[in-house]
Amino acid sequence: MKLLTAFMTVLTLMGNTCSAQNTTNFANIGSVDRFDASLDELISKDAKIEVLCGGFEWAEGPVWVPEAGNEFGGYVLFSDIPQNVVMKWQEGVGASVFMKPSGYTGVADYGKEPGSNGLALDASGRLVLCEHGDRRISVLTKGGGKVTLADHWNGQRFNSPNDLAIRSNGDIFFTDPIYGLPNRADDALRETDFCGIYRLQQDGTVTVQYKKVSRPNGIAFSPDEKNLYVANSDGNDPVWRVFPVQTDGNLGSPTPFFDSSKEDRISRGGGDGLKVDVHGNVFATGPGGVLVLSPQGKLLGRIATGERIANVGWGNDGSVLYLTSDMYLCRIQTTTKGAGL
């Protein structure tokens, strides 16, 4: 039986209220699979996966928000896509609704996944969102209102922006599969015939960088920002690719980085969210958990909660990895730190 009845937060999203878990005694879940001895340099042998809160329909896109004057240093924001909400979790306080609606502001029903997905902070500390239902990249302004950064390319609306990576120069690279459309690939509202990888520049220019990944999903830069990693969530092509970033800021042709179908220690399957550490190791959600991959694409290990895992994000001093795992928000202490923090 799942941990639901034992320790999880019980949420009441109606009316933007919730009953929050107020504890620092967290239950542990899952295990760390060690396929290579070098994983011990990244995750200690006594590291545990802690479940911080739960009760969500499908948690996604965790991002750490540093906060001056907070004794715990900040808080985590994450999406619950089906509930069209961004949640906030803070140490010693628990979970609460941060924003609702988060990704769809229309009046008609918009399918099963209307909310926000990937979240990130820009250089000014503003929250940038990938929105399924409103089919846009938006930013939360200082006064609490939203501004649309991009919602179309070449006169055509995006499918449903999924995940994003913000380069230090302010460029936003994002993926645009069809998962947020009510009828997905066959939806009558669809305006592009591909699932693209896009670049959004600070002047508002949007360019397609690549069209040939069937279901582009998680996305993150290498520490030096010379390479961009992109996951494909299509099990028929379960390949993580790496794109060189050219001097003009556009992407070059990709090469395979990791292919789950060629690894006999895990099942075949595509990927979802991913992040990179300061050493260039890639922490990528995939078959059975978070795959830990060396800069050369070697499988070092796997963080497995026993539940599906959508995405990951670095937090606290950069050494804590937060996991959105199906109905749960979890974390694990590492001995490395996230890139770009």
What mean pLDDT is reported for the chain? Answer: 93
Q: Check if the beta carbon of residue 312 is closer than 8 Å to that of residue 322.
A: yes
Q: How far is CA 274 from CA 77, 289, 311, in A?
A: 16, 11, 6
Which tens digits make up the pLDDT trace of 66-116?
998 877 799 999 999 999 999 999 999 999 999 999 999 999 999 999 999
CA distance 10 to 20: 7
Conformational region of residue 185, where left means phi above 0, alpha means psi within -120 to 50, and beta covers everything else? alpha
Dihedral (Cα; 227, 309, 233, 75), 10-degree rounding: -50
Higher pLDDT, 14 or 317: 317
pLDDT score for 341: 80
Residue 128 β-bridge partners? 120, 139
SS3 40: helix
Per-residue pLDDT tens over the stretch 112-150: 999 999 999 999 999 999 999 999 999 999 989 999 999
Q: CATH number of the domain at 26-333, out of 2.120.10.30, 3.40.50.300, 3.10.20.30, 3.40.50.2300? A: 2.120.10.30
Confidence (pTM): 0.94
Please give the pLDDT value at position 71.
Answer: 76
Give the span between the Cα atoms of 63 and 315, in whole angstroms.
7
The confidence score (pLDDT) of residue 14 equals 37
Share of the chain above pLDDT 90, in %: 90
What residue ranges do the domains of the chain occupy?
A: 26-333
| Cβ 255 vs Cβ 270: under 8 Å | no
CB atoms near residue 72 (< 10 Å): 12
- Burial code (b: 16+ CB inside 10 Å, e: under 16) for 118-156 equals bbbbeeeeebbbbbbbbbbbbbbeeeeebeebbeebeee
